[in-house]
Amino acid sequence: MAAKPKRYSIFSLARNALSYHQGWQRAWRDPDPKSDYEVVIVGGGGHGLATAYYLARECGIRDVAVVEKGWLGGGNTGRNTTIVRSNYLWNESAGLYEHAMKLWEGMSSDLNYNVMFSQRGLLHLAHSVHDMQEIGRRGNAIYLNGIDSEFVTPEQVREMVPFINLDCRYPIHGALLQRRGGTARHDAVAWGYARAADNLGVDIIQNCEVTGFQIEDNTIRGVETTRGRIGAGKVGCVVAGHCSVLAEMAGFRLPVESFPLQALVSEPVKPIIDCVVMSGAIHAYISQSDKGELVIGAGSDAYVSYSQHGGFDTIEHTVGPIVELYPIFSRLKMLRQWGGVVDVTVDRSPLISKTPVNNLFFNCGWGTGGFKATPGSGHVFAHSIKNGNMHPIAEPFSINRFNAGALIDEGAAAAVAH
Amino acid sequence: MFLIKCPWCGYRDQTEFSAQGEAHIVRPEDPYQLDEEQWGDYLFFRKNPKGIHHERWVHSHGCRRWFNVIRDTATDHIHATYRPDEPIPELSSEETSKPA
């Protein structure tokens, strides 16, 4: 095993600055896969790496491999709009996303990695009487679950975002504000979890695609990969858009369809917007990165596709309202636009679940809003894998809810791309 | 964004159409005979393939008629469109084996 990684600190920064930054260590090793592991995690995005980290850190299972077909965080972890919030309607969701929020609040020091978590406040705009009723219901439900949630007037919205056009085609009647909501640096989340997990002995194996499962007596024995067979006592699949592809390899179907979801960023400008503003009704959200780019998110394209790019009509539906709400942005050039593949369930809530195959677990179906849940998802999934029984917070998110009818309908509740 | 050939109207822009999910899912003859698992499976579980997908589309901003499409979900290439009363067109092995 490599030398014990040194902690990042102001002193290590100063020391490395004096040596022209030639002395930094690798953040994680690049091991070849062993023949067997106690647990194999399929998918090296934020959720998968968080799962491996909490398995090693809290569950005492360090014989863990994370296999990733591309590079770490190269899927939806590196493609989202980095928004973090926990203002969900239903109790089950509140439990899950608030669990994640509490872990976000200590993550940088926990991982010894600056994930640039910034609780800058998140506004959810209401544009009609119906929207006001929706945020009224949801805001009170959130408040009753002990999560911060405030109603603000159009004037207060203008104080936070002085250049917003209150009286436009989408008039602003009010907004729901979660002050603890905000953004985090998405790549840093993947890298921070990877470094911390590696530090605890987890093998992170990139460029290693799972091509099949080895299943005997309806029990998982290992995974077939492009780098050979890897035996496993338990397997957790955390692969977002491609979860149905893996489920098919294991012989079952999921209540999921995969859609393209697009986002775009502008050229960098001086600080202009210091909170996150989202609108469910017009499916457009915006924040500013620390580099100065405006980060703009759209709704998902409305047809099944794994193509990682969507249509310009969806972009147009997003930037039109953005320019209407913020006329000052009309001259900004957009620098980059991209798409990810999101795994959407009918009730817009995730699947954290056992499967028909023993010791094979799936954590997927996060749809358009998985980033915010990264630490909570990994945490409850790790405990579920360790115990063989689902963590109480994860239990309602079983695949079986689609047979039992116990849906957690956040789609109808929030009417917004998460 | 791509062009779709409506069986009645010919080639039109994709924005005129709405995708309506997996095709050829037959409603059970007698839902009361199904157990929870079978009913949930019918309602919610989908193939969601990466590759050839048979799906329903409706020409929402055109003739408003429904039809079926065979599309590769990895590339968004459309292999065929056909009316609901037509049999599923056979794809050549060349088309189905095209790398994703």
Query: What confidence tens digit (pLDDT) does each residue in A102-128 have?
Result: 999 999 999 999 999 999 999 999 999
Helices A46-58 and A186-199: angle between axes, nearest 10 degrees: 30
Nearest CA in chain B to A404: B36
Q: How many CB atoms lie within 10 A of CB A233?
A: 17
What's the pLDDT score for residue A413? Answer: 56
CB distance from A311 to chain B under 8 Å?
yes
Residue B62 has pLDDT above 90, yes or no: yes
What's the pLDDT score for residue A242? Answer: 97
CB distance from B39 to chain A under 8 Å?
yes
Q: What is the pLDDT of residues B25-46, one digit of tens each?
A: 999 999 999 999 999 999 999 9
CB distance from B32 to chain A under 8 Å?
no
CA–CA min distance B71, chain A (Å): 9
CB distance from B99 to chain A under 8 Å?
no
Chain A residues 275-304 with a CB less than 8 Å from chain B:
302-304
Collect all residues of chain B within an 8 Å Cβ-Cβ radius of residue A403: 36-37, 39-41
Collect all residues of chain A within an 8 Å Cβ-Cβ radius of residue B21: 257, 304
CB distance from B48 to chain A under 8 Å?
yes
What's the pLDDT score for residue A255? Answer: 97
* Residues near A333 by beta carbon (within 8 Å), at least 6 away in sequence: A266, A267
Which percentage of chain A shows pLDDT scores above 90?
Answer: 93
- Is residue B4 within 8 A of residue B78, CB to CB? The reply is yes
Q: Mean pLDDT score of chain B, rounded to an integer?
A: 93
Collect all residues of chain A within an 8 Å Cβ-Cβ radius of residue B15: 311, 313
CB distance from B41 to chain A under 8 Å?
yes
**Which of B20, B22, B38, B45 is the best substitution to test chain A (most A C-beta atoms within 10 A)?**
B45
Residue A262 has pLDDT above 90, yes or no: yes
Under CATH, what is the fold of the domain B3-96?
Folate-binding fold (3.30.2270)
CB contact under 8 A, B73 and A311: no
Residues A215, A358: Cα–Cα separation, whole Å: 9
Q: What is the pLDDT of residues A275-300, one digit of tens each?
A: 999 998 888 899 999 999 999 998 88
Phi first, then psi: what are they for A153, rounded to 5°?
A: -85, 165
Residues A172, A392: Cα–Cα separation, whole Å: 39
CA distances from A381 to A84, A164, A236 (A): 19, 41, 8
Q: How many CB atoms lie within 10 A of CB A356?
A: 12
User: How large is the average pLDDT for residues A72-76?
Assistant: 94
CA–CA min distance B86, chain A (Å): 22
CB contact under 8 A, A346 and B44: yes
- Is residue A178 within 8 A of residue A121, CB to CB? The reply is yes
| Angle in degrees, CA A237, A239, A243, rounded to 5 | 85
Q: Would you place residue A411 in the very low, low, confident or very high pLDDT band (cuts 50, 70, 90)? A: confident
CB contact under 8 A, B49 and A253: no
What's the pLDDT score for residue A5? Answer: 73
CA–CA min distance B32, chain A (Å): 14
Residues A112, A109: Cα–Cα separation, whole Å: 5
Tokens of A255: 């209540």
Nearest CA in chain A to B18: A302
What's the pLDDT score for residue B23? Answer: 97
What's the pLDDT score for residue A3? Answer: 59
Q: What is the pLDDT of residues A163-194, one digit of tens each?
A: 999 999 999 999 999 999 999 999 999 999 99
A297 has which bridge partners?
Answer: A263, A285
| Domain ranges across chain B | 3-96
User: How large is the average pLDDT for residues B38-65?
Assistant: 97
What's the pLDDT score for residue B22? Answer: 97
User: How large is the average pLDDT for residues A77-90?
Assistant: 95
User: How large is the average pLDDT for residues A356-364?
Assistant: 98
Q: Which residue has the tokens 């978590």?
A: A117
Collect all residues of chain B within an 8 Å Cβ-Cβ radius of residue A313: 1, 14-15
Residue B100 has pLDDT above 90, yes or no: no
CB contact under 8 A, A258 and B48: yes
What's the pLDDT score for residue A417? Answer: 45
User: How large is the average pLDDT for residues A352-360?
Assistant: 98
CA distances from A53 to A200, A280, B19 (A): 8, 34, 40
CB contact under 8 A, B40 and A402: yes
CB contact under 8 A, B74 and A402: no
CB contact under 8 A, B36 and A403: yes
Residue A402 has pLDDT above 90, yes or no: yes
Collect all residues of chain A within an 8 Å Cβ-Cβ radius of residue B14: 311, 313
Nearest CA in chain B to A345: B44
CB distance from A1 to chain B under 8 Å?
no
What's the pLDDT score for residue A412? Answer: 63
Collect all residues of chain A within an 8 Å Cβ-Cβ radius of residue B68: none
CA–CA min distance A307, chain B (Å): 5
Residues A394, A126: Cα–Cα separation, whole Å: 31
Tokens of A294: 């405006």
Which percentage of chain A shows pLDDT scores above 70?
Answer: 97
User: How large is the average pLDDT for residues A218-234?
Assistant: 98
